[in-house]
Structure 1
Amino acid sequence: MDYTVLVGGEAGQGMDTFANLLEKILKRAGFHVFSKSDYMSRVRGGHNFIQIRFSNKPIYAHTEKVDIVFALNEETVEQHLTRLKENGIVITDEGIGKDKDLFHLPLLKTAKALRNSRVYTTIGLGAILKYYGLPLKTGEEVIREGFNEKLYKININALRAGYGMVDSEYSLPTLEDKHILINGNQAVGLGAIAAGCKFYCGYPMTPSTGVLNYIAAHANEMGIAVDQVEDEVAALNMALGASYAGVRAMTGSSGGGFALMVEALSLAGIIEVPVVVINVQRPGPATGFPTRTEQADLRFMIHAGHGEFPRMVIALRDPEDAFYQTARAFNIAEKYQIPVLLMSDQYLADSTTTREPFDFSKIKIERRISGEEGVLDQEYKRYKFTEDGISPRILPGKIPGQVVLVDSDEHDEWGNITESDEIRIKMVNKRMKKFEGLKEEVEEPWLLGDEKPENLIISWGSTYGPVREAVEKLLEEGISIGALVFGDIWPLPTKKLMEMSKFAKRIIDVEQNATAQLDSLIREELLIKSTDKILKYDGRPFSGDELYTRLKEVL
């Protein structure tokens, strides 16, 4: 079984609340859930919709066809009627689409009888639960937990009213609830908390704001200082100050905000202070599509900042990956005293899905702070030349008589400004030695499908879900196909790709940008060139269905 419910209307009509309740009810009934939001950059009006897909087996992306359209206005009917499956229905109020063969219900009339027109969507929720034969009790439990006493009573009455309006077309069995329900931004925030982050700051910018909101919501409980700063320039500089003082620090934004951070990023490079930064991508240039998705910042993240200094770039593939990789980023940042840059996007950030509970025992906090052993002969050299380029790091004020100097100018081992060309060469080489160590840290891309495929897909980040579903369909058809989905981007992992490219007759690059940025990076690093490219840059994510169709066109 595999069903999708789409709710659509104008901003402000209660779609988020409806989707949030339905997701929780389906998850509690033991189903796997994947929910995708499509919203405009408007507080009111416009056309927004949310798709909630559920199944009795794991699912990783949204679908093109839907089973139910819950239309809150005429525009939703017009835009999505053609997306219905053969036996799909449109549920709507009796005042909408009067000239069409729709499933009309007295939603507004019933809401007014309950003396609150805002429970309109809760009535529709009750009807949908009954349509699928899902227990009313589960819906009532979720509503009781989600509303205060005044609101939950009227919403339960609304749910019951909707439940009584229709007959059941299905009788779906409920299963054991074994999962958590989480989106990409929440997973990043949870990963940062698990890693011991004690300072997060940022300026709100869609679609990254959810990370700031999640950490702020748990700040008092977890002892984290959270600051909404005046701009992104301040954000990274403040995070660097917090890290210099001794706490794990992080900041985040979207592409335009990250662009404002690049001078401070170079500062992180020369003062060798660890920091984690996330870029939750959206389409640019400039304001671009503020509420849409894209993967167009890969090259920017690798090369951002003036001058040469090491950094690591990690693309997050799904919420589970986002949790573990965010925690890993803090350890790498502190080990090498560098910025570690995480890449997400609107699709991953806002999509809610069920996953196995994360294993917090896998998270190891490795601070790598030196004590008095970092001071030799009563003399602390913050930028001591070492074989691997990593100098002892002590915290300011922790060891009597020792000063921790940092400076944006080139400096000697003590941190004093220098004009020496000889020291300059040594310091550049010292910093770049870390890159050799980073090459040993990188994790190979995830492999999907055949280990020696004739057709090899390369992709990265949030394309993982659609790629996985497309590959599974093609394998069922007997097609020899495999995929490498990159998480670590820079330094570029090379072993699996070098090996698998020997057997592949066709290499297909799948990316959400116009210039095939991963493909060009692979060509630059390995001289391996794709034979075909499947690119998408309309601001909307690939679905597994769309990608399957486009792959069939090139196979």
Structure 2
Amino acid sequence: MENVIDLGLMVAGPAGAGVFASSLLLGKTLMRHGFSVFVTNEYPSLIRGGHQWAQVRAVFGGYSYSHRKTVDAVLALDKFSAEVHIADLKNGGIVVCDEGDAPTQADPRVVAFPLRRIVKEEGGPSVASNTVGVGVLLGALGLRIEIAERVIYDQFRGKKEAAELNARLLRRGFELGRSLELGVRDRVMSLKPAEEGRSLLIDGNSAVALGALSAGLTFFAAYPMTPASPILHFLAEVQRDLGIVVFQPESELAAINMAIGAAYAGARSMVATSGGGFSLMVEALGQAAMTETPILIVEVQRPGPSTGLPTHTAQGDLRFVIHASQGEFPRVVLAPGDPYQAYVLGNVGLNLAWKYQVPVIILSDKYLGESYWTLKDLPQLGVEEGKVSRESVNGTFPRYKLTEDGVSPMVFPGTPGSLVYANTSEHDEYGFGTIDPLKVKAMQEKRFLKLRKLREEAERSGVEVYGDGEVLVVTWGSTKMIVLEALRRISGVGLLQVVWLEPFPKNKVKSAVHGKKILVIENNMTGQLVSLLREHLFLEPADVLLKYDGRQFYPEDVEAWIASHLEAR
């Protein structure tokens, strides 16, 4: 560990002060120096105003899994931030702020500079003081200003004047920061910068969208809902370049109905929302199941019930998505734990929907969706078309034909000579409504035949195991990253991440937990993963750690909790 450099930086200030832009500038600059970078943020659900902060964790010689409780430096963009976030400093840490924002009571950990005066001298808008502050931190850390300037020009691509202004402001802050000395400065200055273009700083929302694109996504509809809205923003920006259709209708119900209609016509479709929006989509979820129309739904969780905490994180929708809609039908629920998995499962999810003609739900959360991690590369993934038929039958096509695996050939409206019926009521093989008990039973059993192959898929790739030991922590979703960060400092403990929640990979999980002391960690109040372990394996964990205040766990708290169980053995 002595060769590892571990940095924690925070930017804090009022909404509109450039808090998030500053954190990404810092994160990308550190990544281009060879650091593994993680960036997360917190902001209130307000149209205007409110306090925000973003934390940048950067590790050289290791991987940056998550945030931690304390940081080496805080860039405070107002007086409130300068006073409040002193408490987040490590020993020897500093707060950088403007001269006018220094706390009333002098504190040697607070270093004030004329950030706003420099912006005024350069003729920039007052908000640009954040760029000067970032420059101060870069200088204090001994980072290379030319690398940060390239990040600036990348961020302001196509806006030459803004790029040049911010580059000047950055350099002026950098010169001021060189007068400071953080403890790691000499070690950082000796680093050889990474080969640029070899790493990617990406959030979970963008990653899942890229994964769906790699699986042939052609239609996306969504009504804006935090924290899933960035998926809509990202796809809207690239739709013309990629030749896809992105549409924002009047409601979440309209969005999923449009996606179902597009899929019925042959477009590989996806929607994205949060728990409240998914609640509105539930009626149409059953429609997709009954018509056996393939659709991918991304549900980025936030706390509920009702509006809950719109800009915070939770893992409270697991049972909801597994059982949503009336009646019984097969579905798939997948939960990525990091952007790499989000990318892969975006691809897998859309392909599964078309392969088995079932609704597939990717269950993400705010922490994963809006945080950024460093990735070295993303694999090339492809499209699985499924049972798509293009032959003419010169009549009504048996869209719901009984087959051995429950998956019927699919033909799209407009195929010459073929009539294609879809029916949201129970129907026969041709889509005509029926109440015949024998046909009703046959159709229900046909749909559930798909579960045989889906369970096999779940057993093949439904879990991920990290490390080994007599104690095994079981978790799901983004909480995996917190546990991995905690286990960095604990030996003799393994981690089991359940990726497929429905169908549940019970044989794989049963094998992994055999003979272990089981601890479960999840970000909800009722232990929803625990309920699945009880249901499928009759397994009662030795202990459960839950959190439900809208924030992810801190690794330090997880470390202490796991350590207490190791001491008790």
TM interval, short-chain normalised? over 0.9
Contact 1:183–1:349 (8 Å) recurs in 2: yes
Segment of structure 1 superposing worse, 483-492 or 25-34: 25-34
Q: 1:348: Cα distance to partner?
A: 0.3
Task: Say whether 1:518 aligns with 2:536.
Answer: no
Q: 2:153 & 2:345 partners in 1: Cα distance? A: 35
- What is the identity, as a one-letter code, of the residue corresponding to 1:128? L
Task: Say whether 1:371 aligns with 2:390.
Answer: yes
Find the counterpart in structure 1 of residue 25 from structure 2.
21
**Which of the residues 175, 188, 200 maps onto 2:208?**
188
Q: 1:68 & 1:199 partners in 2: Cα distance? A: 44
Q: 1:109 & 1:241 partners in 2: Cα distance? A: 57
**Which of the residues 445, 448, 460 maps onto 2:476?**
460
Cα–Cα, structure 1 residues 542 and 174, in superposed 2: closer, same or farther, change >3 Å? farther
Q: 1:523 & 1:278 partners in 2: Cα distance? A: 26
Contact 1:10–1:44 (8 Å) recurs in 2: no
**Which of the residues 488, 495, 501 maps onto 2:513?**
501
**Which of the residues 145, 149, 153 maps onto 1:136?**
145
Task: Say whether 1:65 aligns with 2:70.
Answer: yes
Superposed, 1:184-223 pairs within 5 Å as: 184-223=204-243
Find the counterpart in structure 2 of residue 389 from structure 1.
406
Task: Say whether 1:110 aligns with 2:110.
Answer: no
**Which of the residues 497, 500, 506 maps onto 1:485?**
497
Q: 1:465 & 1:382 partners in 2: Cα distance? A: 43
Contact 2:387–2:408 (8 Å) recurs in 1: no
Q: 2:557 & 2:237 partners in 1: Cα distance? A: 37
Find the counterpart in structure 2 of residue 39 from structure 1.
43
**Which of the residues 66, 82, 94 maps onto 1:77?**
82
**Which of the residues 270, 274, 278 maps onto 1:254?**
274
Find the counterpart in structure 1 of residue 174 from structure 2.
163
Superposed, 1:220-369 pairs within 5 Å as: 220-360=240-380, 362-369=381-388
Q: 2:128 & 2:280 partners in 1: Cα distance? A: 43
Q: Residue 158 of structure 1 aligns to a residue in which SS?
A: helix
| Count, aligned residues | 544
Contact 2:40–2:56 (8 Å) recurs in 1: yes
Contact 2:262–2:269 (8 Å) recurs in 1: yes
Q: 1:387: Cα distance to partner?
A: 1.4
Segment of structure 1 superposing worse, 195-204 or 19-28: 19-28
Q: 1:500 & 1:353 partners in 2: Cα distance? A: 28
| Percent identical | 40
Task: Say whether 1:145 aligns with 2:147.
Answer: no
Q: 2:378 & 2:203 partners in 1: Cα distance? A: 13
Find the counterpart in structure 1 of residue 489 from structure 2.
473
Find the counterpart in structure 1 of residue 95 from structure 2.
90
Q: 2:560 & 2:249 partners in 1: Cα distance? A: 45
- What is the identity, as a one-letter code, of the residue corresponding to 1:80? H
Q: 1:113 & 1:47 partners in 2: Cα distance? A: 27
Q: 1:379: Cα distance to partner?
A: 5.7
Find the counterpart in structure 1 of residue 12 from structure 2.
8
Q: 1:77: Cα distance to partner?
A: 2.7
- What is the identity, as a one-letter code, of the residue corresponding to 1:320? Y
Task: Say whether 1:539 aligns with 2:550.
Answer: yes
Q: 1:378: Cα distance to partner?
A: 6.2
Task: Say whether 1:55 aligns with 2:59.
Answer: yes
Q: 2:487 & 2:507 partners in 1: Cα distance? A: 22
Q: 1:98 & 1:111 partners in 2: Cα distance? A: 24
Q: 1:216: Cα distance to partner?
A: 1.0
Q: 2:165 & 2:406 partners in 1: Cα distance? A: 64
Q: 1:366 & 1:221 partners in 2: Cα distance? A: 23
Contact 1:283–1:290 (8 Å) recurs in 2: yes
Q: What TM-score do you get using the length of structure 2 for normalisation? A: 0.93
Q: 1:324: Cα distance to partner?
A: 0.7
- What is the identity, as a one-letter code, of the residue corresponding to 1:394? V
Contact 1:293–1:541 (8 Å) recurs in 2: yes
Q: 1:79 & 1:495 partners in 2: Cα distance? A: 49
Cα–Cα, structure 1 residues 379 and 93, in superposed 2: closer, same or farther, change >3 Å? closer
Q: What TM-score do you get using the length of structure 1 for normalisation? A: 0.95
Consecutive unaligned residues in structure 1, runs of 5 or more: none
Contact 1:389–1:432 (8 Å) recurs in 2: yes
Q: 2:74 & 2:464 partners in 1: Cα distance? A: 35
- What is the identity, as a one-letter code, of the residue corresponding to 1:370? S
- What is the identity, as a one-letter code, of the residue corresponding to 2:496? L
Q: 1:174 & 1:42 partners in 2: Cα distance? A: 42
Segment of structure 1 superposing worse, 80-89 or 273-282: 80-89
Segment of structure 1 superposing worse, 408-417 or 77-86: 77-86
Q: Residue 59 of structure 1 aligns to a residue in which SS?
A: coil
- What is the identity, as a one-letter code, of the residue corresponding to 2:534? R
Q: Residue 176 of structure 2 aligns to a residue in which SS?
A: coil
Map Cα deviations across residues 388-424 of structure 1 (whole Å, 9 max, x no partner).
Answer: 11111111112x2211100111111111011211111
Contact 2:24–2:39 (8 Å) recurs in 1: no
Segment of structure 1 superposing worse, 241-250 or 118-127: 118-127
**Which of the residues 103, 106, 114 maps onto 1:100?**
106
- What is the identity, as a one-letter code, of the residue corresponding to 2:421? L
